[in-house]
């Protein structure tokens, strides 16, 4: 299903509707997820930042960063971000090592929201 053709306003200046959002990464559309530390693989992270899309029932699209940690004494945080900042986040991760590489399913979802982002010159 194609996402609605309107994006949330840029930050700052987001309409007050964002204050009533209930963000939950389990129910959101993941655009990029940092790899989690897996027992026996020390190369992967114990902390990271993921990029998600939240679409409201009215069709408004919000991008947010989910800062997570596997440590019980650290808090996970959702942070609303602008479409431009979300795009920059994706572009920063395009050249990362294989451990932080954008996967094919992520690439497909990213192109739904940022057509042409992987074309040369971006």
In contact, 12 and 36? CB cutoff 8 Å: no
Q: Is residue 117 part of a domain?
A: no
Distance CA 114, CA 55 (A): 15
Distance CA 88, CA 86 (A): 5
Q: Is residue 78 part of a domain?
A: yes
| Residue 103: domain span | 26-112
Q: Is residue 43 part of a domain?
A: yes
Distance CA 89, CA 74 (A): 23
End-to-end CA distance of the chain: 26
Per-residue pLDDT of the chain (122 residues; tens, 9 = 90+): 344 444 444 444 344 555 567 888 888 999 998 877 665 556 557 888 999 999 988 888 999 999 998 888 999 999 999 999 999 999 887 765 555 578 889 999 999 999 999 886 65
Q: State the total domains in the chain.
A: 1
Q: Is residue 19 part of a domain?
A: no
């Amino acid at each position: 299903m194609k996402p609605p053709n309107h994006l949330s306003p840029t930050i700052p200046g987001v309409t007050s509707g964002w204050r009533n959002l209930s963000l939950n990464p389990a129910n959101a559309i993941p655009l990029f997820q940092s790899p989690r530390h897996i027992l026996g693989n020390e190369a992967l992270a114990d902390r990271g930042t993921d990029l998600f899309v939240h679409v409201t029932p009215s069709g408004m699209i919000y991008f947010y960063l989910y800062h997570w940690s596997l440590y019980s004494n650290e808090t996970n945080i959702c942070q609303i971000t602008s479409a431009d900042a979300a795009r920059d986040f994706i572009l920063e991760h395009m050249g990362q090592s294989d451990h932080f590489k954008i996967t094919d399913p992520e690439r497909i979802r990213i192109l739904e929201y940022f057509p042409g982002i992987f074309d040369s010159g971006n």
